[in-house]
Amino acid sequence: MVLVAAIVIALFFFVGAGAAIYLYYPDLIPFGKGEAADPAAGEDRIEEGETEIGSPPAMTGTKAEESAAVVPDRYSAIQEAINSSRTGQIITVKPGTYYENIDFRGKEVTLRSTDPDDPDVVTATILDGSSRGSVVTFKSGEGAGAVLTGFTITGGSGTWEDYTITSYDGERLNFKRQYGGGIFITGSSPTITKNVIRDNRAENAASDELGLGAGIAVLDCSSPLIEGNTITQNYSEGYGGGIAIFYRSHPVIKNNLIEDNRSVDFGGGILVTMMSDPVISGNEISHNSASTCGALYIAHMSGATVVNNLISSNSASLGGA
């Protein structure tokens, strides 16, 4: 068991085989092979849990109107509640399984379970993407006021996107990938806290279009706060089993449990690439696996501030445990 304390990683620092952290700087991330995704079809639907949770205390005026945004009491679907919401509103979701693929659509609102601090409530309040894309999407410039808290997020397969970016040496590069099985964040900086993100996939769209970020994908100048989540048993057919951070993104990743995730290629726990610079602090990163670097992989003019993490029992063929 390795206690990593106050380590600041820059590109010029290299940790070789046998270490938990691997830094690599080739011209491009090499492409692997995979099979095309075949998402299952289906309609949005709700299966309520048996436990009934009471409505919030009665209020008057505007607060009463805002507190009435309860799913499924007032709205039959979570997306319907988001579409009807106003800035600063709290949307409360009762326990149950909600088969939806949710998009915040630029709304600065809080989407929460009835009690994000109760593990039983979090376990019983499930957002299931039914393998039809990312379970939750932030792609419309959402800021810290867009909050997702207190859910189990599962059954995601990722969002196919075609990105063209400018590399560190001015070269134009094109990336076609399936991003973010559980949560897909691009050009946005939401708050993701107290969720269980499990059993999601980042699938390969083709042999050269690999999955990236099975649990969470953070792309394109995004700076979300990812705090106090359990990110587990996610599987990427390409890169980043737990979390993938791509292209000039600067998330704060702290106090999460990141365990039992798998990536076929790089970064079983966390992958950082293409001029990104996250803060990774106070996490437990354990029992993740990949072909290269089971715990944390950093490449392509990226760096990271890695402080007070517990990194243990990860496995990889190259770049260490």
Residue with tokens 């993490």: 309
> Which pTM value belongs to this model?
0.80
Contact criterion met (CB below 8 Å) for 228 and 256: yes
Residue 82: C-alpha distances to residues 86, 122, 148, 249, 293 (Å) = 8, 20, 12, 26, 39
Closest CA to 276 of 297, 307, 306, 251: 251
Cα separation, 180 vs 78, in Å, equals: 20
pLDDT tens, position by position, for the chain (321 residues)?
333 333 333 333 333 333 355 444 433 333 233 333 333 333 344 444 433 333 333 334 445 344 558 999 999 999 999 999 999 999 999 999 999 999 999 999 999 999 999 999 999 999 999 999 999 999 999 999 999 999 999 999 999 876 665 666 666 666 666 889 999 999 999 999 999 999 999 977 655 567 889 999 999 899 999 999 999 999 999 899 999 998 899 999 999 999 999 999 999 999 998 889 999 999 999 999 999 999 999 987 888 999 999 999 999 988 765
Distance between CA 93 and CA 109 in Å, rounded? 13
Determine phi and psi for 120, rounding to 5 degrees. Answer: -65, -40
**Order of strands across the sheet with 270-273?**
21-24, 296-299, 270-273, 243-246, 216-219, 183-186, 136-138, 102-103
Ordered domains of the chain (ranges, CATH)? 2-23+64-165+172-316 (2.160.20)
- Sheet containing strand 235-236, strands side by side: 201-202, 235-236, 262-263, 289-292, 315-318
Whole-angstrom CA distances from 37 to 160, 204, 210, 300 are: 10, 6, 10, 27
